[in-house]
Structure 1
Amino acid sequence: MKNYLAAALLAMAALGGCASIYTAPPQPGESEAQIVARLGEPTHRYGEGNTHLLEYMTGPWGQATFMARIGADGRLVSYEQVLDTAHFSRIEPGKSTKQDVLHTIGAPSATSYLRLPQLEVWSYPYRESNAWDSVMHVHFDNAGIVRMMQNGPDPRRTPDMAWPLGSRR
């Protein structure tokens, strides 16, 4: 009986940690304090003129990042999931900076560095067209300018790709 009770309490505690993901999204006009009370502390905050952004990442395994834009009056202007084709298309190779990327799609779930071409890579797992497990890789030069973007399947969620040469069968 003790084992069942302990398991039930553990399951309830684990589900409680996920509660903020499944709450109703904040509505325009809500105060920043109301949003933080409901969703918890944001993973990152970004200033942007007289407004600022609250970022809520679900990574590294999650495939969504939510941005809450707070107006100069301290109230919510917009709340949206930003890891999608529409937001990725706002990033311009040769022009966008690391700061632009952070304000557009948030912080990466993973980073790496390619020595030979000298590019820093930020990786963003997401659901392309709400159907495919994908990863968008944003490549920056040493000056912090986007040089290219590369999209592909997420090998962590595609069993045949987890092995270097394809299927392990």
Structure 2
Amino acid sequence: MKRIALFFTLFLALCLTGCAMFAPPPDPGTPEQAILERYGKPAATYPDGETTLWEYPGGYWSQETHMARMDKDKRLISWEQVRTDAKFGTLTIGKSTANDVLKTVGRPTETSQIHMNNYKVWTYRYKQDGVWDSVMHVMFDDNGIVQKMETGRDPLYDDDRGMWGRTGVGIGVGGGRWGGRGGGIGIGIGF
């Protein structure tokens, strides 16, 4: 009985968390405490002049990240979804730093290294044009300056299994040696 009660409690908590994600964004002027009560502690904070940016990643595989800009009086100035083409477009190759990237689009979904160029790569999952499951690779040199940016299809959503999806049908014909015996016909179905 306790397990069932625990299961339903967890299920209800997850449902309520999901509902909070679909709620309208907070209004400018909302106090810090109300933001913390509604969204919890931010994943990261970034000082930006006289304001502070609070990062709230979300969505499938963090395709969305919201930044809350808080003023010095601890009130919300703006709430913005930053994993967009427009925000990536504000980054300048040869000029933007790793800190600029963090303040613009937040922390990466994953990091890697390209040893040939000695680039550190930050990968961001996002919806390109608000529709396509994509990744943006931001590449930094040893000094932490953006040197290159590339976008492409997100391999996690790339279901390249042909017209039949995961189902496959194959027919094979095998022959023996020239003038010899052997051979056969086979049909296979895969799921």
Same fold (TM over 0.5): yes
Q: 2:20 and 2:42 mapped to 1: Cα distance?
A: 11
Indicate conservation of the 8 Å contact 1:59/1:109, yes or no.
no
**Structure 2 residue matching 1:160: 3-state secondary structure:** coil
Q: 1:157 and 1:143 mapped to 2: Cα distance?
A: 33
**Structure 1 residue matching 2:86: 3-state secondary structure:** helix
Deviation at 1:21, TM superposition (A): 2.0
| 1:118-138 Cα shifts (integer Å, max 9, x gaps) | 000001100111210000010
Deviation at 1:16, TM superposition (A): 3.5
What letter is aligned with 1:67?
M
What letter is aligned with 1:129?
D
Taking only the aligned residue pairs, the percentage that are identical comes to 41
Q: 1:73 and 1:9 mapped to 2: Cα distance?
A: 37
For 1:26, the equivalent position in structure 2 comes to 26
Deviation at 1:59, TM superposition (A): 6.5
Q: 1:115-130 residue pairs with structure 2 within 5 A?
A: 115-130=115-130
For 1:110, the equivalent position in structure 2 comes to 110
Distance change (3 Å), C-alpha of 1:43 and 1:3: closer
Q: 2:136 and 2:64 mapped to 1: Cα distance?
A: 12
Indicate conservation of the 8 Å contact 1:138/1:149, yes or no.
yes
Indicate conservation of the 8 Å contact 1:60/1:109, yes or no.
no
For 1:147, the equivalent position in structure 2 comes to 147
Indicate conservation of the 8 Å contact 1:160/1:168, yes or no.
no
TM-score by length of 2: 0.78
What letter is aligned with 1:65?
T
Could you say which structure has the higher strand fraction?
2
Deviation at 1:158, TM superposition (A): 1.4
Larger Rg: 2
Bigger shift: residues 72-81 or 88-97 = 72-81
For 1:87, the equivalent position in structure 2 comes to 87
| 1:12-55 Cα shifts (integer Å, max 9, x gaps) | 23324434423331110111121111111101000011110000
For 1:40, the equivalent position in structure 2 comes to 40
For 1:54, the equivalent position in structure 2 comes to 54
Q: What's the C-alpha RMSD, in Å, of the aligned pairs?
A: 2.3
Bigger shift: residues 82-91 or 58-67 = 58-67
Deviation at 1:80, TM superposition (A): 0.5
Deviation at 1:116, TM superposition (A): 1.1
Deviation at 1:10, TM superposition (A): 4.2
Q: Which has the higher contact order (CA 8 A, sep 6+)?
A: 1
Q: What are the ranges of 5 or more consecutive residues in structure 1 without an aligned counterpart?
A: 162-166
Q: 1:131 and 1:116 mapped to 2: Cα distance?
A: 33
For 2:185, the equivalent position in structure 1 comes to none
Aligned residues: 164
